[in-house]
Structure 1
Amino acid sequence: MLGGRLCDDRSVDSSIDAALVSATQSGDSDAFAVLVGPLQRELHAYCYRMLGSVHDADDALQDTLVRAWRAFGRFEFRGSVRPWLYRIATNRCLSILDQRGRRALPVDLDRSVGSDAQIDWLEPYPADRLDPGQRLVARESIELAFVAAVQRLTGTQRAVLLLREVLGFTSREVADQLDTTVAAVNSGLQRARAALDPALPAATQRVTTRQMGEAAVLELARRYAQAWEAADIDTIVSMLTNDARYSMPPVPTWFVGRQEIRDFLLSGPLACGWRFVTTEANGQLAFGTYRWDSAAAAYRPGGLDVLTLRRDGIAEVVSFLEADFAAHGLPPSLPA
């Protein structure tokens, strides 16, 4: 009975889409907006995973929609516009990747990289850009570690991996989207998996905020923020894993281990007054950090800190010093 109901719903949806496709091909821009609107968030998240940049994803999505509108007269409807839109989005992302190098985090680089090096940095992803209906499903594939690892793949390998394993397209659909063969898609997926696995933290050690539970995450956030605001170095360090990493893009320098991080924090950062606002980025616990500015008599943005959690503590802190606080729903300053 349930299966029959689901089939009926899909039939109704397909009929509605067919009517919208027909109206769009007659030049109805409102019909086009209704047709592609529900897919825009997932398309944007896909472009972000491909490119590692929210701003590049904005451009890729905009180009995708413009090109789709212009080419809609030639579109052959086969039950859904989704595979076709992903074909266009993939081509736009691959074109962008041809024009620049991969994005990275400081820990992806050799520690001897100088401070004047010109690097395209990975950007944090605002929580509200994810489709609410897919947020829990999408979190793991939007985490910083996963997106950073994906950036090590070739453009085509990224597309194959994301389209097959994150978005659930069949090998035949991906082959059509990339103008290649099913055999080439399956081979590319194997190579992508082989290259990706060593770059990812052990799944048995990593723990998501969903696995920890809301109460545990809030308590950890409270303790960590309180320790920073009190300049309590002992508590901060005790919450880190033994091999924790700390970085601050666009500064290429990074620190590993409790002692290195402790020495760095004591060398300057903890001499400032801080206020932390709990938020979320890339499906992970994050903080908008605000440093006291005596000239402004207020706390001004210091960085967006995104935390990676493991069962034994905080495994990594990436402090994005140039993050767009407004994009993450954070205030421009905090009062004294």
Structure 2
Amino acid sequence: MTLLDAARQGDERAFGELVAPHRRELEAYCYRMLGSAPDAEDVVQETLLAAWRGLAGFEGRSSIRTWLYRIASRAVLRRSEQRARLLSQERHPPLDQWEDLGAAVEDAGWVGPWIGGDPEDIASRRETLGLAYVAALQHLPPNQRAVLILRDVLAFSAVETARLLDTSVASVTSALQRARDTLDRRRPIATAGVPGEHRAVVDRFVTAMEARDLDALVSVLAEDVQFTMPPLPAWFDGREAVAGFFEHRVFETPWRQVRMADVSGCPALLGYQEQHGVLRASALQVLHVDAEQKISWIASFLDPALLARLPHPEILPRDR
């Protein structure tokens, strides 16, 4: 008896094995559509529940993968009609002072990071999981967004995409061209090269952070570097402004940095800030590195709910 046959007879374990190879890829698809990993997980859960309930109607004329994408596309398009997620740079002008960073805006719809997954898979898809790329996708109408991802990222044919989205091949072709034109105009920021090649610049950043050495920090920053910190609305633009923020605010307290696996296709660090004598997880820092091996964007995520989901302790022992 095949897994499909067993699942059709009500075997939940068999169903789990049947869909497991596709789950992470579906989450990545939904993440690109929604800009939020938790929202993507919710949609995939909804997708798998619908697949389980509708398994009896699966006739096998397509693969399980294609069938799941059809269900997921319907679910994620419904969710995509809600407010689009944005980056800090798209919401407010940069700050030119360091005293008032504004209050956290928890429900603002920030683009969040993509965490975890198979390292080889992330390496091959890192540009399409990047924060700026995913943010640029949010500026597309949901249907164009889905077509672009299905065709250009997941390599479905125009005919397959039309079937997945219940539309015509002509509509898919037209939507894809409009989506590509919009994305080309936005030219998303991307990390240059392979993330593993950036160890030296990341090491220098870590040393500068832990030593609170401003000159060393400045030496690794690109002239046009940006620093963002959602859910705070504040962000800084340019080496002078970013260095000033680090000097006057970040370096007021000691930090320890723990290296993570790549996040959103970029090198990442979990920053532990000393608070009342305790090193507490305080910021997930995603580092974008340009072709000159300079850091061009520090995307620092401060949301406690996000930090709590990371596979690292909340408190860092002093001997680490």
Distance in structure 2 (CA, Å) of the matches to 1:235 and 1:201: 28
1:299 alignment partner in structure 2: 279
Shift, 1:202, TM fit: 6.7
The match for 2:67 is 84
Gaps of 5+ in 2: 96-100
Trace 1:116-265 onto structure 2 (pairs within 5 A): 119-127=108-116, 130-132=117-119, 134-201=121-188, 206-210=191-195, 214=196, 216-265=197-246
Instruction: Using the TM superposition, give the Cα deviation of residue 264 of structure 1 relative to its aligned residue in structure 2, in angstroms.
Output: 1.6
What does the per-residue CA deviation read over 1:106-156, in whole Å, with 9 as the maximum and x for residues that have no partner? Answer: 0122318994665111111112xx245523222221111211111111111
Aligned residues: 308
1:308 aligns with 2:288: yes
CA contact (8 A) 1:209 1:285 kept: no
1:169, CA displacement in angstroms?
Answer: 0.6
Q: Distance between the aligned counterparts of 2:163 and 2:37, measured in 1?
A: 27
More displaced, 82-91 or 263-272? 263-272
List structure 1 runs of 4+ shifted beyond 6 angstroms: none
Q: What are the within-5 Å matches in structure 2 for residues 269-308 of structure 1?
A: 269-279=250-260, 280-294=262-276, 297-308=277-288
Distance (whole Å) between structure 2 residues aligned to residue 48 and residue 184 of structure 1: 24
Q: 5+ residue gaps in structure 1?
A: 1-15
**Which of 33, 45, 57 is the matching residue for 2:40?**
57
Asked if the contact 1:41/1:131 (under 8 Å) is kept, the reply is no
> What are the Cα deviations for residues 8-35 of structure 1, in whole angstroms up to 9, with x where unaligned?
xxxxxxxx9xx33333223232221121
Looking at structure 2, the residues matched to 172 and 263 of structure 1 have their Cα atoms a distance apart, in angstroms, of: 53
CA contact (8 A) 1:101 1:120 kept: yes
State the TM-score, normalizing by the size of structure 2.
0.90
Q: TM-score, normalised by structure 1?
A: 0.86
Q: What is residue 95 of structure 1 aligned with on the other side? A: 78
Residue 20 of structure 1 pairs with residue 7 of structure 2? no
Name the residue aligned to 1:12.
none
Deviation of residue 287 (structure 1)? 0.7
SS at match of 1:318: strand
Decide which moves more: 33-42 or 326-335. 326-335
Q: Which moved more, 1:30-39 or 1:302-311?
A: 30-39
For residues 265 and 34 of structure 1, the distance between their equivalents in structure 2, rounded to whole angstroms, comes to 49
AA in 2 matched with 1:222? D
Q: Distance in 2 between matches of 1:202 and 1:273?
A: 30
Distance 1:262 1:202 in 2: 20
Q: Render the CA deviation track for 1:67-88: whole Å, top value 9, x for unaligned.
A: 0011111112025111110111
The structure-2 alpha-carbon separation of the partners of 1:290 and 1:195, relative to structure 1 and needing over 3 Å to count, comes to same
Quote the Cα distance in structure 2 between the aligned partners of 1:112 and 1:241.
17
Q: Show the counterpart of 1:3.
A: none
Q: Distance in 1 between matches of 2:9 and 2:188?
A: 50
User: Tell me, what secondary structure is at the counterpart of 2:309?
Assistant: helix
